[in-house]
Amino acid sequence: MLSRTLVAIILAPIVASAGPIDEAIPEPWFKNGASPAKDHCLAGIDTEVEDSGSPNLSLKCAEAVEGFVGIMQSFAADNYLGKRLSFSALVKSEEIEGGWGGLWMRVDGRDRRVIAFDNMQNRSITGTTNWSRYSVVLDVPEDATDVAFGTLMSGKGQLWIAELKLEPVNHETPTTDRKKKLEPGNLGLKR
C-alpha cells in the first residue's frame, strides 16, 4: 500500500490537469508582466495540482492578448558573485497558442544595467507538453548587484512550474545567456 501511495504522489503532477488558479502568490514571488496580458491573465497557484501534493506556480490566459504575464522574484547578487547560477524547474504547458512560455533569469549591474539575460524565447515552450525539466544558466560577475528570475507566458493557454531549483553550477556547464555572443554575426548584412 505504501508503494502505491508513493507512486501516486510522484505521478500526481504528471496526471493533473488545469484547475482553478488561486492568485494569492506566496511571498517573495509576485505577478509581473506587460499589459494588457498582465491585467487579463491569471497568475498564482493551481489548487488541484497543489492538492495532489505538488507546490506550483501557474499562468493562465483564456485568450491571446498583447503583452505577457509572469511570476517573479529578485534578490541581491552578493552571495553569488563570480559564480555561474542555474534556475531550473519542471514545466508543463497546455494549449499555449499565439505565444510561448518559459523560465527566465536576469543579472543586473549598477543603475539596473542588464549584464546577462535569458527568457527561453529561442527555445520556447508552446502547445501542450508534459512535465519536463528546463533551465536557464547565467554568469553572475563581480559587478552584479541583483538577480531576478521567474516564469512567463504570452498568448492563450496555461503553463505550470514545479520543483524549482536555484543553485550555483560549475563553470563547465554552458550558459544560456542571450546577451552573450561568442562570435560576430551577419557580417554580410543579409535580411
Instruction: Report pLDDT digits (tens) over 146-183.
Output: 999 999 999 999 999 999 999 999 999 999 987 665 56
Residues forming beta bridges with residue 13, ordered by sequence position: none
CATH 2.60.40.3880 is right for the domain spanning 13-169: no
Check if the beta carbon of residue 162 is closer than 8 Å to that of residue 56: yes
Confidence class of residue 53 from pLDDT cuts 50, 70 and 90? confident
Residue 123 sits at φ, ψ, to 5 deg, of -150, 50
Q: Residue type for 80, please?
A: Y
Beta bridge partners of 89: 134
CB 137 within 8 A of CB 175: yes
Q: Residue type for 36, please?
A: P
Chain centroid, CA 54 distance in Å: 17
- CA 121-126-131 angle, to 5 degrees, is 105
pTM of the model: 0.83
Predicted pLDDT of residue 184: 63
